[in-house]
């Protein structure tokens, strides 16, 4: 790492651009100011090209001119972004300062058209549009691209790891715990399969969500469009334009597109994050019981004073980041679904924080995966603990008595069941007190490791279903906004 990058990391206001920059950096192509500027330029150029296809607009674009316009968006560079920022904040070449970020993009495009010998097109840039027409399309395309290109693959990596763990340990009996107390046995692999199934279902839901978009003018009525060019089917034009951008056309809006679809996406992320929060907390608890161990990283220190410790920091870090992400996602879901009258500006600044929220989710996913990759299963500890608790077999004992017609089976077993853990001898004594069973009777020979019901079969069902799913092939990946970034 060079000195500039080191200083930038150490002096960063947010850990997302400092300590966690290596992970969060994958989202810069979608949520940086540069990415937003580039997407705005692309939308404006696409709009201009779409107008050129209408007979009412005398743009008369040749094939070469259309190709040149497309290159403005495709080859948009950091130098171009800096030029737009100067127009907005300082003024550039007699233009501005505009104090308006979208208007600065319009003025930038006028300059580029002049350079290309297309100054005659300048009056048509942004005609009839409000800045929110550009921004809602830009943001939603970027968000959808980030979900499909970065977020979903990161979650799928966890799915694949859970699948392997479920397969490897599906037959390993383990003491169950309900309310934190010893309960009917299960298998470790089946418990991994529970999370695999929940995550697979959540991924399918998130991957299927479509965001919408609007091209509707200052208050959502396409008034300027209709007044100036009444002969054009503007409702059909707007729907086609939004669809061609990979979004679903909104039927109706004010100046702003409602954030309801975004809220649906955010709540889908909250659902997934809650599954993973459940997972990482359970991993922490299994580690605390000694069922799992965390392999130490080479040279890593677990405690500044206790040399023996290897702390489950990956799971703890994941828990913290996912908790932070969910709090922000709830806030976004509430704030972006509200706007005063036909529009207020509060949502504009809030939208700029979507990237940081996604970044906390992404860090949570990566650390959860790192934790899962570092755990080892302590089969001997799991087995020893399981066979210390024969009292969990009081469930099949009272069920067997019920089958035999004993009305107070539960009460009879509970009456003779002393507090605390029972070993095999204790359980044999309990059997003798509650019924007349031969030594070769199944209940007399039953051990906790044998009392796992359909745990193996259930795990195998989930494993088979997960293997039949290939989410990566099903996702329709939107454009990659990072292409052409280094013109």
Q: Which residues are annotated as catalytic?
A: 179, 303
Question: 313-335 and 354-374 helices cross at what angle (nearest 10)?
Answer: 160
Helices (H), 19-171: 21-24, 28-31, 33-52, 63-74, 78-89, 101-115, 131-146, 152-168
Distance of CA 442 to the CA centre of its chain: 48
> Of 158, 261, 275, which Cα lies nearest the Cα of 208?
261
The answer, yes or no, to whether the previous bond of 212 is cis (omega within 30 of 0) is no
Phi (first) and psi of residue 477, to 5 degrees: -75, 125
How many angstroms separate the CA atoms of 158 and 370, rounded?
9
| Residues 6 or more apart in contact with residue 282 via CB below 8 angstroms | 191
Q: Which residues pair with 376 in a beta bridge?
A: 293
- Burial of residue 6, with CB atoms counted within 10 A of its CB: 0-12 exposed, 13-18 middle, 19 or more buried: exposed
CA torsion through residues 416, 419, 421, 423, sign:
negative
For residue 359, give Cα distances in angstroms to 84, 135, 141, 260.
26, 21, 17, 22
> Of 159, 143, 138, which Cα lies nearest the Cα of 266?
143
How many angstroms separate the CA atoms of 220 and 256, rounded?
8
How many angstroms separate the CA atoms of 137 and 412, rounded?
68
Phi (first) and psi of residue 459, to 5 degrees: -60, -40
Give the 3-state secondary structure of residue 202.
Answer: helix
Phi (first) and psi of residue 390, to 5 degrees: -70, -15
- Dihedral angle of Cα 440, 445, 446, 447, to the nearest 10 degrees: -170
Distance of CA 464 to the CA centre of its chain: 24
How many angstroms separate the CA atoms of 175 and 329, rounded?
36
């Amino acid at each position: 790492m060079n000195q500039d990058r080191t200083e930038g990391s150490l002096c960063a206001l947010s850990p997302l651009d400092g300590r966690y920059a290596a992970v969060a950096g994958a989202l810069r192509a979608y949520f940086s100011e540069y990415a937003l500027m580039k997407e705005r330029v692309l939308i404006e150029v696409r709009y201009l090209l779409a107008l050129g296809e209408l007979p009412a607009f005398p743009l008369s674009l040749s094939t070469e001119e259309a190709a040149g316009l497309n290159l403005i968006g495709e080859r948009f560079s950091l130098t171009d972004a800096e030029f737009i920022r100067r127009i907005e904040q300082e003024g550039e070449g007699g233009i501005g300062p505009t104090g308006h970020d979208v208007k600065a993009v319009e003025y930038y495009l006028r300059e580029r058209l002049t350079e290309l010998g297309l100054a005659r097109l300048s009056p048509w840039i942004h005609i009839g549009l409000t800045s929110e027409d550009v921004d809602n399309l830009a943001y939603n395309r970027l968000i959808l691209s980030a979900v499909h290109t970065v977020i979903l693959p990161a979650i799928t990596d966890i799915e694949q790891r859970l699948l392997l763990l479920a397969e490897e340990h599906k037959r390993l009996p383990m003491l169950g715990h309900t309310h934190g107390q010893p309960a009917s046995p299960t298998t470790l692999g089946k418990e991994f399969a529970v999370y695999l199934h929940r995550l697979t279902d959540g991924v399918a839901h998130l991957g299927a969500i479509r965001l919408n978009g609007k091209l509707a003018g200052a208050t959502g009525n396409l008034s300027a469009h209709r007044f100036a060019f009444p002969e054009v089917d503007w409702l059909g034009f707007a729907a086609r334009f939004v669809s061609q951008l990979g979004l679903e056309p909104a039927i109706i809006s004010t100046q702003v597109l409602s954030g309801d679809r975004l809220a649906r996406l955010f709540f889908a992320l909250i659902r997934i994050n809650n599954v993973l929060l459940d997972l990482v907390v359970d991993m922490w608890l299994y580690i605390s019981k000694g069922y799992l161990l965390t392999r130490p990283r080479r040279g890593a220190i677990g405690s500044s004073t206790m040399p023996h410790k290897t702390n489950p920091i990956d799971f703890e870090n994941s828990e913290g980041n996912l908790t932070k992400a969910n709090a922000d996602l709830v806030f976004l879901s509430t704030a972006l679904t509200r706007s005063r009258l036909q529009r207020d500006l509060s949502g504009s600044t809030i939208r700029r924080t979507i990237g940081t929220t996604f970044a906390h989710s992404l860090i949570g996913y990566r650390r959860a995966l790192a934790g899962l990759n570092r755990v080892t299963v302590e089969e001997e500890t799991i087995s020893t603990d399981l066979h210390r608790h024969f009292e969990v077999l009081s469930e099949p004992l009272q069920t067997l008595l019920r089958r035999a017609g004993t009305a107070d089976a539960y009460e009879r077993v509970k009456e003779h069941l002393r507090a605390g853990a029972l070993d095999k001898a204790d359980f044999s004594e309990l059997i003798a007190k509650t019924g007349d069973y031969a030594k070769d009777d199944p209940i007399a020979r039953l051990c906790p490791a044998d009392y796992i019901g359909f745990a193996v079969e259930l795990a195998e069902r989930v494993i088979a279903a997960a293997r039949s799913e290939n989410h990566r092939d099903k996702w329709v990946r939107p454009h990659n906004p990072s292409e052409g970034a280094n013109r």
